[in-house]
Structure 1
């Protein structure tokens, strides 16, 4: 028997994605909010646990898209809770239970395999 269990491939994209090297450009939450998909001259960003992902190529995050509520925000809490409520789209996640923290980690893995990391949220 093997000593370890192989990480499931369920987070792998169906089509291979060529990602750029991660950036750590600093963004305040206010600056991040300007990247909500409503200004066509700016890319659309979603942050998870302070890491900012460029989701511009995915229509679901554009205005009218099913996940637009996350655009321009650190949506950690909402993702952990599997919530599409605007009031849950906030960065606080440390007080969540272990199950929700696991869900959040899974979302982070999912995003990191599909979207370029363009920065970090700073206070």
Structure 2
């Protein structure tokens, strides 16, 4: 079978092969214009500012309350004594979010009962809710929420009784 240059497909393939071989054997030595000539134009791995540092802290209901997301502040909430930084979920837990009433508060009972009403919140001047009256299903539900928060948000503290600090 002979190679027939009379057909347009064979001619196009031959030209493509010759072009590819030429590019491999004689590559372009052009210097890229995107490569910086000076360091000031180069890549800098340093961030403009250091990211805010989170410290593991002990909170009481009163010290947790200011972290409700108002005025751009961090948003924290607690479930069964564990405090989570949910600032990344500002759309949910921020001032206009669906779960805004949990911001800066102990959300244990509300998460257990799947109720987002303000009646589920213990007043901040009272002792922490012992959750003694929860059913086994509600406790499992609360544990499910804790697993969700543990995997999605940063644990940044623990919630203790007001007189424990």
CA distance in structure 2 between the partners assigned to 1:24 and 1:108 by the alignment: 17
Q: Which has the higher helix share?
A: 2
1:102 aligns with 2:133: no
Of structures 1 and 2, the one scoring higher in RCO (CA 8 A, sep 6+) is 1
The RMSD of aligned alpha carbons is: 1.6
Q: Which has the larger radius of gyration?
A: 2
Q: Following TM superposition, by how much is the alpha carbon of 1:37 offset from its aligned partner in structure 2, in angstroms? A: 1.0
Match of 2:115 in 1: 83
28, 31, 34: which one aligns with 2:63? 31
Given candidates 148, 151, 164, the residue that maps to 1:113 is 151
CA deviation after TM superposition for structure 1 residue 122, in Å: 1.6
Aligned residue number for residue 54 of structure 1: 85
Of 64, 75, 83, which residue of structure 1 is paired with 2:96? 64
- List alignment gaps of at least 5 residues for structure 2: 1-53, 123-127
In the aligned structure 2, how far is the partner of 1:39 from the partner of 1:72? 13
Q: What is the alpha-carbon distance in structure 2 between the residues aligned to residue 39 and residue 51 of structure 1?
A: 24
Q: More deviation in 75-84 or 92-101? A: 92-101
3-state SS of 1:111 partner: helix
Structure 1, unmatched stretches of 5+, are: 1-21
TM-score by length of 2: 0.58
